[in-house]
Amino acid sequence: MIETDAPGRSVVELIKVTKVYPPDVVALQEVSLSVLRGEMLFLTGMSGAGKTTMLKLMCNIESPTSGVVEVAGRNLARVRPSGIQKMRQKIGVAYQDFRLLPKQTALQNIAMAMEVAYQGRQAIKRRAEELLEMLGIADKRDKLVGKLSRGEQQRVALARAAANKPPLLLADEPTGNLDAAAAGRVVNLFNALNAEGSTIVVATHDASIYRDTNHRVLRLVHGTLIEPAAEQLVDESYPPFDYESIAVPAQEEEAGGTLVPDDDGDDFDLDRTPPGGEESEEENAR
Amino acid sequence: MKQLAMLLRQVGRNYRQTWGTQLMTLLTVVLSVLIFSFFFLVYMNMLRASDRLGDDIRIIVYLDEEPVPELRPQIERKIREFSEVDRIAFVSRQEAYNRLAKQLGNDRDVLADLGPSFLPPSIEVYPQKNLKNLARVEEFARYLHTLPGAAKVQYGHGWLQRFSYFTNLLQIIVLMSGALLILSMTFIVSYTIRLTVIARQEELEILRLLGASSFYIRGPLLVEGILQGLLGSGLGLYALYLLFHWIAQKFSGPGLLNLFDFRFFSPLMMAIILMVSVLLCAAGTTFSIRRFLRI
pLDDT band, very low/low/confident/very high, at A230 (cuts 50, 70, 90): low
> Do the Cβ atoms of B209 and A113 come within 8 Å?
no
Nearest alpha-carbon partner for A158 in A139, A140, A143, A173? A173
pLDDT band, very low/low/confident/very high, at B169 (cuts 50, 70, 90): confident
> Do the Cβ atoms of A86 and B206 come within 8 Å?
no
pLDDT value of residue A260: 43
Higher-pLDDT residue of B17, A261: B17
Using CA atoms, how far apart are residues B138 and A15, in angstroms rounded to an integer? 88
- CA-based nearest distance A242→chain B, Å: 31
What are the residues of chain B with a beta carbon less than 8 Å away from any beta carbon of chain A?
2-3, 6, 9-10, 202-203, 206-214, 216
- CA-based nearest distance A116→chain B, Å: 5
> Do the Cβ atoms of B207 and A82 come within 8 Å?
no
Cross-chain CB nearest to B206 (options A86, A101, A118): A101
The answer to whether A64 and A13 have CB atoms below 8 angstroms apart is no
pLDDT value of residue A134: 94
Cross-chain CB nearest to B209 (options A86, A88, A90): A88
pLDDT value of residue B239: 95
**Residue A186 clears pLDDT 70, i.e. is over it:** yes
What is the 8-class DSSP label of residue B186? I
The DSSP-derived string for B79-144 is HHTSS-EEEEEEE-HHHHHHHHHHHHGGGGGGGTT--GGGSPPEEEEEE-TT---HHHHHHHHHHH
Q: How far is CA A41 from CA A165, A170, A174, A188, A199, in A?
A: 17, 10, 13, 15, 8
Interface check for A120 against chain B (CB to CB < 8 A): the answer is yes
* pLDDT tens-digit readout, B257-287: 555 677 899 999 999 999 999 999 999 999 9
| Mean pLDDT over the full length of chain A | 82
pLDDT value of residue B180: 82
Using CA atoms, how far apart are residues B8 and A271, in angstroms rounded to an integer? 30
Q: Is the pTM of this model over 0.90?
A: no
ipTM of the complex: 0.78
Rounded mean pLDDT of A130-155?
95
**Residue B186 clears pLDDT 60, i.e. is over it:** yes
* pLDDT tens-digit readout, B138-157: 888 888 888 888 888 888 77
Rounded mean pLDDT of A57-79?
93
pLDDT value of residue A235: 45
Percentage of chain B modeled with pLDDT above 70: 93
Distance, CA of A187 to chain centre: 14
Rounded mean pLDDT of B194-216?
88
pLDDT value of residue A237: 43
- CA-based nearest distance A262→chain B, Å: 19
